[in-house]
């Protein structure tokens, strides 16, 4: 392919992409590219990958599925972080009694 023609096609493809960070679905390629991998990339990279036949724009269903997986992964990470931060204090029975007696209101004789 002629270099001028390549960059013209990339420019056309880029002008047809409306999102700043489009979601792409990879296509199987002869050099070992794996089909079905979703990636969020810049408009410029998306245009190059589409022109080179390495990826296609994701459908609306693909986008929804991707967002659900991302939300699930984020929730898992947040719960793992929360579990890491949980602090446990072990107190003995005598500590409970001492704490309980010191917190009783004192009589003021009124």
Determine, yes or no, domain membership for 73: no
Nearest to 3 by CA among 43, 31, 44, 11: 11
Determine, yes or no, domain membership for 37: yes
Nearest to 23 by CA among 52, 64, 51, 53: 64
| C-alpha to C-alpha distance for 49 and 23, rounded to whole angstroms | 12
pLDDT digits (tens, 9 = 90+) for 59-104: 999 999 999 999 999 999 999 888 888 677 788 888 777 766 655 5
Q: How many domains does the chain have?
A: 1
Determine, yes or no, domain membership for 7: yes
pLDDT of 18 strictly over 60: yes
Determine, yes or no, domain membership for 23: yes
* Helix (H), strand (E) counts: the chain: 4, 3
Please compute the mean of the pLDDT values over residues 23-41 and round it to a whole number.
Answer: 91
User: Which 3 state secondary structure label does DSSP give 103?
Assistant: coil
- What pLDDT was estimated at residue 106? 53
Determine, yes or no, domain membership for 81: no
Please compute the mean of the pLDDT values over residues 10-29 and round it to a whole number.
Answer: 94
Determine, yes or no, domain membership for 26: yes
Expressed as residue numbers, the domain containing 50 is 1-64
User: Which 3 state secondary structure label does DSSP give 94?
Assistant: helix
């Amino acid at each position: 392919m002629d270099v001028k023609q390549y960059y013209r096609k990339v420019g056309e493809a880029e002008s047809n992409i409306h999102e700043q960070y489009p979601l792409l679905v990879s296509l199987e390629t002869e050099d070992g590219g794996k089909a079905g991998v979703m990636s969020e990339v810049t408009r410029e990279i998306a245009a190059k990958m589409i022109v080179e036949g390495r990826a296609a724009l994701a459908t609306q269903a693909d986008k929804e599925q991707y967002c659900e997986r991302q939300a699930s992964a984020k929730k898992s990470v947040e719960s793992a972080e929360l579990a890491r931060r949980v602090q446990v204090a072990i107190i003995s029975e005598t500590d409970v009694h001492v704490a309980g007696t010191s917190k009783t209101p004192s009589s003021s004789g009124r």
